[in-house]
Amino acid sequence: MIKNLEYLAPFKNDLAWTELSALKEERESWWKRESSKKWLIEEYPNLLVEEKDFSGAWVTVKGQNPPEKVAALEELAKSLCPWKKGPFNLFDIKIDAEWRSDHKWQRIVPAMDSLKDKVICDVGCNNGYFMFRMAHHQPRLVLGLDPVLHMQAQFDLVQNYVSAPGLNFELFGVEHLPLFKNVFDVIFHMGIIYHHRHPIQQLLDIRESLKPGGVVYLETIGIPGEESIALFPEDRYGRMSNCWFVPTMSCFINWAKRARLTNVEILADTPLTEDEQRLTPWCPPPFQSLKASLDEEDPNKTIEGHPAPRRFLIKAYKKKG
């Protein structure tokens, strides 16, 4: 669902509008590549939507429809495999993704500030699962950033039926946050920081794009330990080649503080288990998940011998004034 940037016009004075417009045009051109056509959906099955629910673990859409139309939607959804984030329930098509992302969301909710009427950015939003959960809280606007066509195709498919108000997906990355200055009330930055070479720069960019007094929820994989250190794997961590710095909790907190974020609060420090991340029919072999990343004889270690991943979640603010 290609749209222009006019939904950001109310914030134009705080945006690098010319650069954003050029970036938008360049990213939309990606859909014209031959290799991208497998993700391009020209038409969706016309299904009657009678009920929507963003409040529970499953982002749900219901409606009585002819079985052949529901089957056509299921075939279309399966063509977009693998589904990494979820779960979604579209007309009783249960898309049980690799990640039970509701586990992560439930770790946030007890300490989450009100999202009502807020301007929110979800950095590295994947297919938008968390954006749909945010929609239940009636934000003014949610901007999801993820420079992956496959992810936008999944988001567009779900949003075509959910029609959650105020949600917008752009093929931008965390490196484009400097184009937004003092724009967001809330930023969610979940499972992203360790995939990039410069964790502190990400946090500095987050702080600059928040409004004064704005809040960020930061989530990462981490390792146990009391010292303020980060594992820097020589090659891979849990089979991931795009994993750079894996911090202890104290190191993670210190990153936030060195980026001049304030009132840092620990929300969760939990082991990562197969209840949360595993292969499913919607993310089947030959894709690999948590089990394949751990040592078969010692699940407290990755297959490379590093400490097994934990999930850290913290909350921090940009100073007011």
Please report the domains of the chain, with CATH numbers, ordered by start residue: 11-318 (3.40.50.150)
Q: What is the pLDDT of residue 246?
A: 98
Question: What one-letter code names the amino acid at 37?
Answer: K
**Closest residue by Cα to residue 245 from 221, 214, 271, 212:** 221
> What are the C-alpha distances in Å from 117 to residues 5, 142, 178, 180?
19, 10, 23, 19
Residues sharing a CB contact under 8 Å with residue 42, sequence separation 6 or more, in sequence order: none
Q: Are 265 and 314 in contact (CB under 8 A)?
A: yes
Question: What one-letter code names the amino acid at 256?
Answer: A
Q: Are 91 and 67 in contact (CB under 8 A)?
A: no
Distance, CA of 174 to CA of 187 (rounded, Å): 11
Q: Are 277 and 310 in contact (CB under 8 A)?
A: no
pTM as predicted: 0.97
Q: What is the pLDDT of residue 96?
A: 98
Distance between first and last Cα of the chain = 38
Q: pLDDT tens track of the chain, all 321 residues?
A: 456 899 999 999 999 999 999 999 999 999 999 999 999 999 999 999 999 999 999 999 999 999 999 999 999 999 999 999 999 999 999 999 999 999 999 999 999 999 999 999 999 999 999 999 999 999 999 999 999 999 999 999 999 999 999 999 999 999 999 999 999 999 999 999 999 999 999 999 999 999 999 999 999 999 999 999 999 999 999 999 999 999 999 999 999 999 999 999 999 999 999 999 999 999 999 999 999 999 999 999 999 999 999 999 999 999 997
Q: What is the pLDDT of residue 242?
A: 94
Q: Are 8 and 180 in contact (CB under 8 A)?
A: no
Instruction: Please confirm whether the linkage preceding 87 is cis (ω < 30° from 0).
Output: yes
